[in-house]
Chain A
């Protein structure tokens, strides 16, 4: 991991891999959307509405995954003082927030025809809403504190303390009575979804993961540039 601690080396690697990551993302979305909208059958109970699953579930997976990345990066920054770890955590947050918003919004669009309500204060939905607030709070800290080192110290605490919500979201459907259905893909006894519906879901999950990777590398590259601009301005002030 220390291999990537040098921003110049990181930028060289990011610049080399980014075109391939974008190309894989586009290909995965093309295959995933074909499977989701064309080949996957309608559900025997939910009908065509089940197709919302192919954009809702990957968004929810990514909202949890990206927060986990932020918490890990924050831990690495706090323990090893890795120079790019705070950059990784900071730049992941807006991407994760969009995934979290999409999971809540598409979930609401799925809930209305299936449950008869846009929103219920159910354990899964509420813990997901708390995750959205954590993302917003984390981004607000970086926006409010001008000095990056001080902002990073506070943001790390929020990311690490907020990580307790991730297992709560995951297991909320098992721990409490919930309107939301229980896990049907990542289970100890294997997925309960039929093959023709499962593969488009997994491909869409991979597409979202590669999209995150592409956006995250790009956002990290931009953040490194922003910090360099700040350093140049500080050096100019010092020279005057």
Chain B
């Protein structure tokens, strides 16, 4: 890729925006999954304890 070409800023902006959005989506999805699965495990452990 020729970084001195015309309009190359638009190309860089497109890839940067794509990276930011996809990284955000991946982090949010994995974070929610981890948090909820940990919560289920905690609640299951609590319920198994004798009262």
Set B1, B2, B14, B43: member contacting A55, Cβ < 8 A: B14
Q: Cα distance A109–B8 when bound, in Å? A: 11
Cβ contacts under 8 Å, A238 to chain B? none
> Could you tell me the distance in whole angstroms from the C-beta of B4 to the nearest C-beta in chain A?
9
Q: Interface size on A (CB < 8 Å)?
A: 33
Q: Are A218 and B14 in touch, CB under 8 angstroms?
A: no
Please tell me if B37 contacts chain A, counting CB pairs below 8 Å. yes
Please report which residues of chain A, range 36-62, place their CB below 8 angstroms from some CB of chain B when the two chains form the complex.
Answer: 37-38, 42, 47-49, 51-52, 55-56, 59
Closest to B5 in A: A48
| B36 contact from A102, A105, A229, Cβ within 8 A | A229
Query: Which residues of A have CB within 8 Å of B5?
Result: 42, 47-48
Give the docked Cα–Cα distance between A117 and B3 (Å): 23
The reply to whether A51 and B40 form a contact with Cβ atoms under 8 Å apart is no
Chain A residue with the shortest CB-CB distance to B39: A229
The A-contacting residues of B in range 18-36, CB under 8 angstroms, are: 18, 21-22, 25-26, 29-30, 32-33, 36
Q: In the complex the two chains form, what is the Cα distance from A216 to B30 in whole Å?
A: 11
Interface residue total, chain B, C-beta cutoff 8 A: 28
**For B32, what are the chain A residues with a Cβ–Cβ distance below 8 Å?**
219, 222
Q: Say if the beta carbon of A140 comes within 8 Å of chain B.
A: no
A228 contacts partner chain B, Cβ-Cβ < 8 Å? yes
A-B contacts, CB under 8 A, total: 88
Say yes or no: B11 contacts A105, CB within 8 Å. no
Task: List the B residue with the shortest CB-CB distance to A101.
Answer: B21
A116 CB, min distance to chain B CBs, angstroms: 12
Per-residue B-contact encoding for A205-240, CB less than 8 Å = 1, 0 else: 000000100010011011001101100100000000
B47 contacts A by Cβ under 8 Å = yes
Instruction: Determine whether the beta carbon of B29 is less than 8 Å from that of A109.
Output: no
Of residues 51 through 110 on chain A, the ones whose CB sits less than 8 Å from some CB of chain B are 51-52, 55-56, 59, 94-95, 98, 101-102, 105-106, 109-110
Residues of B within 8 A of A (CB): 1-2, 5-8, 10-11, 13-15, 17-18, 21-22, 25-26, 29-30, 32-33, 36-37, 39-40, 43-44, 47
